[in-house]
Amino acid sequence: MRPSGRTAQQIRPVTITRNFTKHAEGSVLIEFGETKVLCNASVERGVPRFLKGKGQGWVTAEYSMLPRATHTRSAREASRGKQGGRTLEIQRLIGRSLRTCIDMSALGEHTITIDCDVIQADGGTRTASITGACVALVDALNWMRAQGMVKVNPLKEMVAAISVGILDGEPVSDLEYIEDSKADTDMNIVMTEAGKFIEIQGTAEGEAFSFDEMNSLVEMARHSIRELIDIQKQALA
Amino acid sequence: MRPSGRTAQQIRPVTITRNFTKHAEGSVLIEFGETKVLCNASVERGVPRFLKGKGQGWVTAEYSMLPRATHTRSAREASRGKQGGRTLEIQRLIGRSLRTCIDMSALGEHTITIDCDVIQADGGTRTASITGACVALVDALNWMRAQGMVKVNPLKEMVAAISVGILDGEPVSDLEYIEDSKADTDMNIVMTEAGKFIEIQGTAEGEAFSFDEMNSLVEMARHSIRELIDIQKQALA
Amino acid sequence: MRPSGRTAQQIRPVTITRNFTKHAEGSVLIEFGETKVLCNASVERGVPRFLKGKGQGWVTAEYSMLPRATHTRSAREASRGKQGGRTLEIQRLIGRSLRTCIDMSALGEHTITIDCDVIQADGGTRTASITGACVALVDALNWMRAQGMVKVNPLKEMVAAISVGILDGEPVSDLEYIEDSKADTDMNIVMTEAGKFIEIQGTAEGEAFSFDEMNSLVEMARHSIRELIDIQKQALA
Amino acid sequence: MRPSGRTAQQIRPVTITRNFTKHAEGSVLIEFGETKVLCNASVERGVPRFLKGKGQGWVTAEYSMLPRATHTRSAREASRGKQGGRTLEIQRLIGRSLRTCIDMSALGEHTITIDCDVIQADGGTRTASITGACVALVDALNWMRAQGMVKVNPLKEMVAAISVGILDGEPVSDLEYIEDSKADTDMNIVMTEAGKFIEIQGTAEGEAFSFDEMNSLVEMARHSIRELIDIQKQALA
Amino acid sequence: MRPSGRTAQQIRPVTITRNFTKHAEGSVLIEFGETKVLCNASVERGVPRFLKGKGQGWVTAEYSMLPRATHTRSAREASRGKQGGRTLEIQRLIGRSLRTCIDMSALGEHTITIDCDVIQADGGTRTASITGACVALVDALNWMRAQGMVKVNPLKEMVAAISVGILDGEPVSDLEYIEDSKADTDMNIVMTEAGKFIEIQGTAEGEAFSFDEMNSLVEMARHSIRELIDIQKQALA
Amino acid sequence: MRPSGRTAQQIRPVTITRNFTKHAEGSVLIEFGETKVLCNASVERGVPRFLKGKGQGWVTAEYSMLPRATHTRSAREASRGKQGGRTLEIQRLIGRSLRTCIDMSALGEHTITIDCDVIQADGGTRTASITGACVALVDALNWMRAQGMVKVNPLKEMVAAISVGILDGEPVSDLEYIEDSKADTDMNIVMTEAGKFIEIQGTAEGEAFSFDEMNSLVEMARHSIRELIDIQKQALA
């Protein structure tokens, strides 16, 4: 029995609020239960130096937790003077995941930056970020089309992500914090609309895991991601 | 005529939402029109080194704007590796303003940190931060009393702040961004419930200002701050 | 009775030594009693990136205290790896104050940087810096005119600054350190030759202050700044 | 046909040189073909602050590439003033992988730091680092036992890692640089002696990958890691 | 013929002003012609961590140039966020030179920090710093004796330093900037009162130098340092 | 009697291995007994900004010790966020020494960076770095000639370096760590093939040293450097 009363496969209620703030070209508040992440997509002309003159665009992401998004306050990275390893790792993952579903030539020499700021954390912030960022990215691309900045839609397909894990020997989907802190294995999976994988990151927290456990986790994730992509599409409809 | 149709003295609609996030001991979303700031108060045992063993508490603040709180995206301070001068100046102002209304002996050896994170900016973010932070501080102090961490209420009186300025030769209260960017003089005033001043910061942006202009701005601010303190009290009722 | 035997309105002896060092285009040592600040103005061709191609100049300031300018040694900011919030706040104030009295179009695409380095501190270092920096700026502008770098004088009017405060319930002008550390309210005021205000920064250190107290401080500051502008002019004569 | 003439499953020649340097408690040069990593294990008394007084030890890792380990010189992180995201991500992976195979209570309040410095890079530096670091760790633990610093062997089982990927539609093991730069999918797998997984990190570089592709890569990795563990054991024999 | 009309052996007029600032336990302005360095010695209880509990003291130095001490303005190290290699090299040299002439046991667990801030530079700032710092150190030691903080004088002997070089094939002493920038060889020598060497740092700027040239430079330096030690002693008399 | 049984003048066995790594244009592992330094020379088109358009090249060096090159592990500079003073001082010395023997016009607008990474330290790492770096530089220059990037050989003459010191009152050459840590005087000397000096850096660690001691050390160094230049030439033959 899970703390929330959910079944093993059941994800938390997911809410996607578009146009959450007014300045960003795409602005999405995504909620997975008590986890709340604001995903703002900003469009800028030009590309980083390594891409100049190649006629391609760039998509990148930054991630941060507000200091009191968590149970106890964590030091603000801006005042510590550097981003921690966990932050850098997560924002690299978000950026990579989004780039896979964009046709960079169709985007032209524009950069889209997705800022994922965690307002409240209760497990699964990185996968909620990817799922929300994809919707914000779609809104930003639609804004660009309305402005005539792109001619064809650079989006190849939607992408979403889920965290799954082994808890008391059983695979479960969409772990909340209290589950995550006890899980033996934690796996973050990013998948496309077409059901293919962009990222699989599985980590044994306590005991190492078997091939069969891995496969049951992956199967569970596929199912949840299909649900998430439906929710994204409804939000965009 | 102001862009919003407000009178010179009229402030924007102010909304205070308590318990906006679930982890912080005090969590307030304050909105001055389109300006939205999340103020989270965190209580920790212990005090900074310079206060150890003196039987006193400490109140401090940190301030940040989300990168896309503004019209165009600004670089994330955590990734630039340092907080800018404007950020440091504002968070010092917030901390100083709050400390003035707390009895540090009554607080005992505890530290309260107020994180003011601007979700959306439309002028007046520092004064909105102070006004919201005071409510979050009250909630955190009430939480401490409920926990038995303090015996008497360390709060001496409420504090609120407003931005006033001279626009086209006329003093106006609570400038929104479009007004602020054209104002000749910008003044931020922090006042107590009893109508006394904690901070006055007036800056000539274009032309220098006269003694009479200063006085009419201060008078306007006093009136608006009285309104804000009423709004704070209703929110806390 | 003040420690120095001065009356409430009386400022400390002020000395302005021009050409204190030989390389800078303007070099002024200003002394307010025991407070000594070296203000060096450096002229450089070109402007910061945000001004390029606009035909305008720029004036900026940097401020620092030598580690042993104070009673006890404070850590060198260069070796700590960053400038503190107080330093950034003060140098922003000095820069803003000086820019208000310069016609940036007349200056053309040149940058003047004023370095204010506190050799010895005894209260009022930021206001002494502004007062001395203005004289160094005039010398640098005169040097530019002699070089043919500017055609008309970019200086609109002189600017000076004073610190005033409430000590044992009485307003006093030009606080020295021992007074400053006990004052209830501390106010820094920057004023032009024409008697108008550029900056007013009043802070309640202990008790909040009233409207009447504010007005009596401002009045006292106006009188002292008029004296300072006379002293600047004599030094430049 | 692979550039080296290897079969799809075939790993490069792996050489493990123990006692490569003389000061470290464990010092291993590991070579996977032209990839060469020096893994030095240092034993220190005491543990990081978050573990003090718990009677447990700690194992951590640092990773770096010499500036000219690669085809073109990359800037030295020490002179840039910070470690990049890739570096932090890799050293977190190495540390996590090693900690899983250590009984921290048996280690007692000691810290073992494994420095993995890449002398020459030709693909697979992170997996070579893990494989070599495990041998250096064993040597350091043996040194501790000889010194009487630990009573029972804290090592639970050996760990090794391999990089596998999909190249021109075919799964291959142990990619060298020229293969890695063209691969569609890149997967790093860390496995224990008992054939269980510690980490699986699969990334779609170009096209997303299918469930079947994932499984064939994992299968290939299992086979290669079994080979690597044999090589480790021979080196330690 | 030297630009100043000096003979090859002749040093510039040297002035030592004690008690230049009022807070430091030793405060010396030293001038070698147009080179002016303020050397402030600060006494603090306690020693750095590596010396705790050993009953010994510590002497260290910091060095900095004011941004406009030179012909053109150089960026302030505090605002660049780090001290440059030249700065670190010089302050290590000053600290080492002073430590050699102090009996650290007699000093007891106290730290003396000498801040050498170059007000105006015209060549030879590092050697002027050492020469002035020694006098400031003596003043600080005398202050400690007056306070009863030390019982016997920790000073073993005086130390002074000079810069010598080869200019147009001829050895000259105490190079000013215009000479220094053209010299083929630059040598900084630190010597004790007893005529022994603490540091010799000779650098070929253009052509390599011969054994005979080295010896004539050293001979010239010995003579000048003897003069400097006389000047120090007169200043202290 | 020296710990190694060497005579006072005798240097340790010196080994130079060229082409130690495969990517660098010059790659040398130099060993002075147990001291091992990898010197990689990288050729890049273009020069630093201060040299642009002058038709000259640039040679620079970076130095680092692997964290466990020493008896006890020292913190990695990249993770501490800055290079220490000792590191900066040494890499400035290496760069200066190499530049003296290169004709920068013949090099053309190319930059050669020599990375000296200490794999194992046993005294004399900076002088081993210079001696090895010179060989790596020659290899890089030969590579440039083969590529047609330079027409005439920019190398004017070979350069090598040795550490000498006074141990128990006797001058000795090529100190190993155990000797270096006890030496009264430590002198690093860089000399050209023609027997002239590029750098002399002598430091009194304990007692100050006399003119005669200096001369006997320099004499000893000359002899050892002649040996080293022979070894360099044999390696390059």
Q: For D44-81, how does the pLDDT look when each residue is reduced to its tens digit (9 = 90+)? A: 999 999 999 999 999 999 999 999 999 999 999 999 99
- Which of F82, F89, F192 is closest, CB to CB, to E208? F192
pLDDT of residue A119: 98
- Here the tokens at position B78 are 């955590």
Sheet holding D26-32, edge to edge: D14-18, D26-32, D35-45, D110-120, D58-65
B137 phi, psi to nearest 5 deg: -65, -45
- Here the tokens at position F194 are 């023609």
Chain D window 47-76: which residues touch F at a Cβ cutoff of 8 Å?
A: 62, 64, 66-73, 76
**DSSP letters for chain D:** --TT---SSPPPPEEEEES-SSSSSEEEEEEETTEEEEEEEEEEES--GGGTTSS--EEEEEEEE-TTSSSS----HHHHTS--HHHHHHHHHHHHHHHTTB-HHHH-SEEEEEEEEEEE-SS-HHHHHHHHHHHHHHHHHHHHHHHTS-SS--B---EEEEEEEEETTEEEES--HHHHTT-SEEEEEEEETTS-EEEEEEEESSS-B-HHHHHHHHHHHHHHHHHHHHHHHHHH-
Is C9 in the E-facing interface, judged by CB distances under 8 Å? no
Share of chain C above pLDDT 90, in %: 97
Is B230 in the C-facing interface, judged by CB distances under 8 Å? no
Task: Provide, as residue numbers in chain F, all residues whose Cβ is less than 8 Å from the Cβ of D64.
Answer: 76, 78
Is E211 in the F-facing interface, judged by CB distances under 8 Å? yes
pLDDT of residue E35: 98
d(CA C37, CA C29): 6
Task: Place domain C14-73+83-236 in its CATH homologous superfamily.
Answer: GHMP Kinase, N-terminal domain (3.30.230.70)
Is A143 in the D-facing interface, judged by CB distances under 8 Å? no
Is-contact B37 B119, C-beta < 8 A?
yes
Would you place residue F204 in the very low, low, confident or very high pLDDT band (cuts 50, 70, 90)? very high
CA-based torsion, F131, F136, F141, F142: positive or negative: positive
For residue B232, the distance in angstroms to the closest alpha carbon of chain A comes to 22
Would you place residue C206 in the very low, low, confident or very high pLDDT band (cuts 50, 70, 90)? confident
D126 is in an annotated binding site: yes
pLDDT of residue F206: 80
C-alpha to C-alpha distances, C143 to C101, D80, F226, nearest whole angstrom: 18, 39, 57
pLDDT (mean) for F147-170: 96
Is F222 in the E-facing interface, judged by CB distances under 8 Å? yes
Task: Provide, as residue numbers in chain C, all residues whose Cβ is less than 8 Å from the Cβ of E87.
Answer: 78
Q: Is the pLDDT of residue D23 over 90?
A: yes
Distance, C-alpha D188 to centroid of its chain = 10
- Which of E187, E194, E203 is closest, CB to CB, to F96? E203
For residue D85, the distance in angstroms to the closest alpha carbon of chain A comes to 5
pLDDT of residue D92: 96
pLDDT of residue D58: 98
B58-65 and B110-120 beta bridge pairing: parallel
C-alpha to C-alpha distances, A62 to A76, A126, B83, nearest whole angstrom: 15, 11, 17
Size of interface E-F (CB pairs under 8 A): 88
pLDDT of residue C207: 87
d(CA A61, CA A40): 10
What are the tens digits of pLDDT across the range A194-210? Answer: 999 999 999 998 889 99
Mean pLDDT over all residues of chain B?
A: 96
Instruction: Report CB contact under 8 Å: B85, C82.
Output: no
Task: Provide, as residue numbers in chain F, all residues whose Cβ is less than 8 Å from the Cβ of E197.
Answer: 202, 204, 208-211, 214
For residue B186, the distance in angstroms to the closest alpha carbon of chain C comes to 10
d(CA F100, CA F113): 15
Size of interface C-E (CB pairs under 8 A): 91
What are the tens digits of pLDDT across the range A85-123? Answer: 999 999 999 999 999 999 999 999 999 999 999 999 999
HSE, CB side, 13 Å, CA atoms: give it for residue F122: 17
DSSP label of B49: G
- Here the tokens at position A199 are 């990222």
- Here the tokens at position E19 are 């008690």
Mean pLDDT over all residues of chain C?
A: 96
For residue F234, the distance in angstroms to the closest alpha carbon of chain E comes to 24
- Which of B68, B79, B113 is closest, CB to CB, to A73? B113
Distance, C-alpha A39 to centroid of its chain = 9
- Which of E96, E208, E218 is closest, CB to CB, to F197? E208
Facing residues of D14 across strands? D32
Is B119 in the C-facing interface, judged by CB distances under 8 Å? no
Instruction: Report CB contact under 8 Å: B202, C204.
Output: no
- Here the tokens at position E25 are 């336990």
pLDDT of residue B1: 80
- Here the tokens at position B208 are 């220098």
Facing residues of F40 across strands? F27, F115
CB within 8 A of C225, min separation 6: which ones?
C160, C161, C162, C189, C191
Task: Provide, as residue numbers in chain D, all residues whose Cβ is less than 8 Å from the Cβ of A215.
Answer: 215
Task: Provide, as residue numbers in chain C, all residues whose Cβ is less than 8 Å from the Cβ of B201.
Answer: 199-202
A159-167 and E26-32 beta bridge pairing: unpaired
DSSP label of F178: H
Of F10, E82, C216, A23, the residue nearest B177 (C-alpha): A23
pLDDT (mean) for C109-132: 98
Q: Is the pLDDT of residue F85 over 90?
A: yes
Instruction: Report CB contact under 8 Å: E76, C78.
Output: yes
Q: Which chains are within 8 Å of E by 3+ CB pairs?
A: C, F
Mean pLDDT over all residues of chain D?
A: 96
Would you place residue C136 in the very low, low, confident or very high pLDDT band (cuts 50, 70, 90)? very high
pLDDT of residue E183: 93
What are the tens digits of pLDDT across the range E155-207? Answer: 999 999 999 999 999 999 999 999 999 998 999 999 999 999 999 999 998 78
d(CA F156, CA F116): 22
Sheet holding B26-32, edge to edge: B14-18, B26-32, B35-45, B110-120, B58-65
Only one residue has tokens 């002179």, namely: D79
pLDDT of residue A108: 97
Mean pLDDT over all residues of chain A?
A: 96
Is F178 in the D-facing interface, judged by CB distances under 8 Å? no
Determine the 3-state secondary structure of D22 from DSSP. Answer: coil
Is E44 in the C-facing interface, judged by CB distances under 8 Å? yes
CB within 8 A of B148, min separation 6: which ones?
none
pLDDT of residue B30: 98
Would you place residue D1 in the very low, low, confident or very high pLDDT band (cuts 50, 70, 90)? confident
What are the tens digits of pLDDT across the range B29-83? Answer: 999 999 999 999 999 999 999 999 999 999 999 999 999 999 999 999 999 999 9
pLDDT (mean) for D146-173: 96
For residue F160, the distance in angstroms to the closest alpha carbon of chain E comes to 13
Is A207 in the B-facing interface, judged by CB distances under 8 Å? no
DSSP label of F115: E
C-alpha to C-alpha distances, A118 to A55, A147, A160, nearest whole angstrom: 33, 30, 17
B131: left (phi over 0), alpha (psi -120 to 50) or beta: alpha
Domain boundaries, chain E: 14-73+83-236
Is-contact C196 B208, C-beta < 8 A?
yes
For residue C22, the distance in angstroms to the closest alpha carbon of chain B comes to 31
CB within 8 A of E9, min separation 6: which ones?
E172, E173, E220, E223, E224
Q: Which chains are within 8 Å of D by 3+ CB pairs?
A: A, F
Task: Provide, as residue numbers in chain C, all residues whose Cβ is less than 8 Å from the Cβ of E34.
Answer: 22
pLDDT of residue C72: 96
Size of interface A-B (CB pairs under 8 A): 92
What angle separates helix C85-99 from helix B85-99, to the nearest 10 degrees?
110
pTM of the model: 0.94
> Which of B105, B203, B213, B215 to mutate against chain C (most C CBs within 10 Å)?
B203
Cα angle, residue D126 at apex, residues D121 and D131 outer, rounded to 5°:
105
Instruction: Report CB contact under 8 Å: E120, C64.
Output: no
- Which of D22, D23, D78 is closest, CB to CB, to F78? D78
Share of chain F above pLDDT 70, in %: 100
Q: Is the pLDDT of residue C235 over 90?
A: yes
- Here the tokens at position B108 are 């005992």
F154 phi, psi to nearest 5 deg: -70, -10
Instruction: Report CB contact under 8 Å: A67, B27.
Output: no
CB within 8 A of D10, min separation 6: which ones?
D173, D174
CB within 8 A of B55, min separation 6: which ones?
B105, B108, B109
Q: Is the pLDDT of residue E1 over 90?
A: no
For residue F219, the distance in angstroms to the closest alpha carbon of chain E comes to 9
Is-contact F117 F41, C-beta < 8 A?
no
pLDDT of residue D102: 96
A116 phi, psi to nearest 5 deg: -110, 105
What are the tens digits of pLDDT across the range B175-202? Answer: 999 999 999 899 999 999 999 999 999 9
Nearest CA in chain B to C222: B211
**Lowest pLDDT segment from A207-211, B8-12, C68-72, E227-231:** A207-211
Is-contact D198 A185, C-beta < 8 A?
no
Q: Is the pLDDT of residue F105 over 90?
A: yes
pLDDT of residue E207: 87
For residue E22, the distance in angstroms to the closest alpha carbon of chain C comes to 8
Only one residue has tokens 């930054």, namely: A62
pLDDT of residue B206: 79
Complex confidence, ipTM: 0.95
pLDDT of residue A33: 98
Only one residue has tokens 């001829």, namely: E170
Q: Which amino acids of A are annotated as binding site for phosphate, given as ranges?
A: 86, 124-126
pLDDT of residue C1: 80
Q: Amino acid identity, residue D112?
A: I
Determine the 3-state secondary structure of F158 from DSSP. Answer: coil
pLDDT (mean) for C196-208: 93
pLDDT (mean) for F34-44: 98
What are the tens digits of pLDDT across the range C160-175? Answer: 999 999 999 999 999 9
Of B136, B229, B127, the residue nearest B175 (C-alpha): B127
Instruction: Report CB contact under 8 Å: A62, B62.
Output: no
Is B82 in the A-facing interface, judged by CB distances under 8 Å? yes
Instruction: Report CB contact under 8 Å: F196, E204.
Output: yes
